[in-house]
Amino acid sequence: QKEVEQDPGPLSVPEGAIVSLNCTYSNSAFQYFMWYRQYSRKGPELLMYTYSSGNKEDGRFTAQVDKSSKYISLFIRDSQPSDSATYLCAMSFYGNNRLAFGKGNQVVVIP
């Protein structure tokens, strides 16, 4: 079983729809959870960060962590064509020097 599972998609949605992305993981030690957005030919950009369980909201973006289910989610409300990108989940724990990444999920928002 891979440490972090993320369905690579692609996911196509019409403009204005809610985009829902998720990752599952196997290591219960993970406590830092991130979502990165990567536009084509660009570097991954830190989009959302959550420590431990709970929700975090930033504008149209909401990140959720459910440690009991080992499941994290990213929601994008009122999606825009500019949200078209690959979204990668990543996670780590204290004392670990590396991030565990998902494979990335390509999202296309159609105008």
Partner 1 sequence: DTAVSQTPKYLVTQMGNDKSIKCEQNLGHDTMYWYKQDSKKFLKIMFSYNNKELIINETVPNRFSPKSPDKAHLNLHINSLELGDSAVYFCASRRTSGDTDTQYFGPGTRLTVL
Task: By CB under 8 A, name the binding residues for partner 1.
Answer: 8, 32, 34, 36, 38, 41-46, 49, 51-52, 86, 88, 90, 92, 94, 97-99, 101, 103-104, 106
Q: How far is the CB of 78 from partner 1 (least distance, A)?
A: 26
If one counts every other C-beta atom within 10 angstroms of the C-beta of residue 52, the result is: 10
The residue among 52 and 69 lying less far from partner 1, judged by its C-beta, is 52
Distance CA 82, CA 63 (A): 19
CA distances from 110 to 33, 42, 73, 99, 107 (A): 28, 21, 22, 32, 10
The residue among 14 and 41 lying less far from partner 1, judged by its C-beta, is 41
